[in-house]
Amino acid sequence: MTVSSAPGKVYLFGEHAVVYGEPAVPCAIERRATVAVEPRDDDHVRVEAEDLTLDGFTVEYSGDANDRPDVDVPTPLVDAAMGYIDAAVEQARDALGAPDAGFDVVVESDIPLGAGLGSSAAVVVAAIDAATRSLGRELDPREIAERAYRAEYEVQDGQASRADTFCSAMGGAVRVEGDDCRTLDAPNLPLVVGFDGGAGDTGALVAGVRALKERYDFAARTVGSIGDVVRAGERLLADADPTEEPDEVLLSELGRLMDFNHGLLEALGVSSRSLDNMVWAARMADAHGAKLTGAGGGGCIVALDPTEETETALRFTPGCEDAFRAELADEGVRAEDDRAARRREDEGES
Ligand code: MEV
């Protein structure tokens, strides 16, 4: 099998506003989706999802994407996962010039679905890479990012920015403003994630912000203000030495901007009680700053704290299911064939 992995991400700044052309700064984190692909002799696609923080499932369907499988898992979850995998397979077929290529696909992910950590982008990026490599074509990470963006754009009915997919394909911290996507030389920030065990509906949340923005000038200005916060954050990152541990001054200034960013997202209606509880738990534990990450509605927050305090406080916060330190993932999409082969060998030996 050909195996690829790609990282999830947190937004330091700028989700939602990035959909309207404002800049955003997401950072890839060491939580990865791994996709193994084997080409088939027919045009069918068989998908096995081992752990998408939902019950594992296996489905097989023909080349017709409308041919939905009959499985014993809640339909919206299967549809969400399958929609992205369908779209990734279509992109791989297009890149290969092989519209009838069939694949066996096995997905494993330690990124919770729909929780603001970029699970769908990571699955799509890794799936495009593994499927194309399985038929002998190696794509540049920028092309994978572009194709993954097209896949997300299609599944999310045109309501997607390039931020999640570019970040997952390239790794590290990135800056995205419309079509302009760049990698950043950022210092290694002490990121802590809190997860409420829930998920938000990205399409509905993006549509809600769009409706507010169209109805009220002050909501449109709120979106613009998020862009201003991002630009201020970028200046801080640009002035920092990426080889040094970030100092207290930098962390407290970045943290203040994260707090501000959360307030603006809250005003746009995309926070939730559990996200706010976790943000406040982090602030009370003296984190430099905290905000929701991703589409919101439920899922994850990200805080800045080099000490253990925030992680500990989050663990004791009602409604917080998991808290962990998120290391920046320097590598974006990568081949895992050797690692997978080594693991199989080790399992065979034991
Ligand atoms: C979702 O992870 C981030 C949003 O900004 C949507 C997008 O950028 O596609 C809400």
Is residue 59 predicted with pLDDT exceeding 90? no
The CA–CA distances, whole Å, from 162 to 10, 152, 279, 342 equal: 14, 9, 26, 34
For residues 233 and 253, give the distance between their C-alpha atoms in angstroms, rounded to a whole number: 8
Among 12-21, 65-74, 237-246, 307-316, which is the least confidently predicted range? 65-74
Binned at pLDDT 50, 70 and 90, residue 55 comes out as very low
pLDDT band, residue 16 (cuts 50/70/90): very high
* Structural tokens at position 141: 């990470």
The pick from 9, 19, 119, 165 for probing ligand 1's pocket by mutation, whose C-beta has the most ligand atoms within 8 angstroms, reads 19
pLDDT-based confidence at residue 199 (cuts at 50, 70, 90): confident
- Asked if the model's pLDDT at residue 169 lies above 70, the reply is yes
Same fold across 2-184 and 191-326: no
* CB of residue 271 inside a 6 A radius of ligand 1: no
Which CATH code fits 2-184? 3.30.230.10
If one compares 50 and 10, the residue with the highest pLDDT of the two is 10
Q: Spell out a b/e string for 189-201, using b for 16 or more CB atoms within 10 Å of the CB, else e.
A: bbbbbbbbebbbe
Q: How far is the C-alpha of 320 from the C-alpha of 301, rounded, in Å?
A: 10
Mean confidence (pLDDT) of the chain: 90
Query: Which phi and psi angles does 231 have, rounded to 5°?
Result: -60, -40
What is the reported pLDDT for 75? 55
Nearest CA residue ID for atom 9, ligand 1: 160
Give the pLDDT of residue 337: 84
- In sequence order, the 6+-apart residues with CB closer than 8 A to the CB of 86 are 45, 65
Sign of CA dihedral 172, 232, 249, 299: negative
Give the residue-averaged pLDDT of 252-259. Answer: 98
**Is 234's pLDDT higher than 60?**
yes
Average pLDDT over residues 132-157: 95
Catalytic annotation, residues = 164
CA of 224 to the centre of ligand 1 (A): 16
Q: Answer whether 19 contacts ligand 1 (Cβ < 6 A).
A: yes
The two three-digit tokens of residue 176, written as one number: 């995205």
| DSSP per residue, 67-106 | -----SS-HHHHHHHHHHHHHHHHHHHHHHT-TT-EEEEE
Q: What dihedral angle (degrees, nearest 10) is formed by the CA atoms of 13, 17, 22, 24?
A: 20
Strand partners, 271: none
Whether 18 is in the pocket of ligand 1, judged by its Cβ within 6 Å, is yes
Confidence of residue 306 (pLDDT cuts 50, 70, 90): very high
CA of residue 309 to ligand 1 center, whole Å: 29
Of the listed ranges 2-6, 116-120, 144-148, 309-313, the one predicted with least confidence: 116-120
Atom of ligand 1 nearest to the CA of 14: 5
191 forms beta bridges with 304, 326
Q: Which fold has domain 191-326?
A: Alpha-Beta Plaits (3.30.70)
Residue 63 pLDDT class (50, 70, 90 cuts): very low
Check whether 245 has a pLDDT greater than 50.
yes
Q: What pTM, to 2 d.p., does this model score?
A: 0.91
- Which residue's alpha carbon is at the smallest distance from atom 8 of ligand 1? 161
C-beta of residue 98 within 8 angstroms of C-beta of residue 135: yes
pLDDT band at 50 (very low <50, low <70, confident <90, very high): low
Q: What is the pLDDT of residue 48?
A: 84
Task: Tell me how far the alpha carbon of residue 257 lies from the centroid of ligand 1, in angstroms.
Answer: 19
Residue 291 CA to chain centroid, in angstroms?
Answer: 16
295 lines ligand 1 (CB under 6 A): yes
Residue scoring higher pLDDT (10 or 120): 10
Taking the CA of residue 17 as reference, the ligand 1 atom at the shortest distance is 5
User: Which H/E stretch holds residue 57?
Assistant: strand 57-61
Taking the CA of residue 121 as reference, the ligand 1 atom at the shortest distance is 2
Q: Is 161 in the pocket of ligand 1 (CB under 6 A)?
A: yes
pLDDT of residue 237: 95
For a mutational test of ligand 1's pocket, the pick from 176, 206, 261, i.e. the residue with the most ligand atoms closer than 8 A to its C-beta, is 206
80-115 pLDDT, tens digit per residue, is 677 889 999 999 999 999 999 999 999 888 888 888
pLDDT of residue 65: 47
Domain locations along the chain: 2-184, 191-326
What is the predicted pLDDT for the residue at 203? 86
3-state secondary structure of 166: helix
How far, in Å, CA of 9 to CA of 110, rounded? 12
Q: How confident is the model at residue 256 (pLDDT cuts 50, 70, 90)?
A: very high
**Of the listed ranges 4-8, 117-121, 258-262, the one predicted with least confidence:** 117-121
Q: Which atom of ligand 1 is nearest to the CA of 156?
A: 9
Confidence of residue 54 (pLDDT cuts 50, 70, 90): very low
- pLDDT of 312 over the 90 cut: yes
Residue 68 confidence (pLDDT) above 60:
no
Q: How far is the CA of 295 from the centre of ligand 1 (A)?
A: 6
**Choice between 319 and 347, residue whose per-residue pLDDT is larger:** 319
**Predicted confidence band at 79 (pLDDT cuts at 50, 70, 90)?**
low
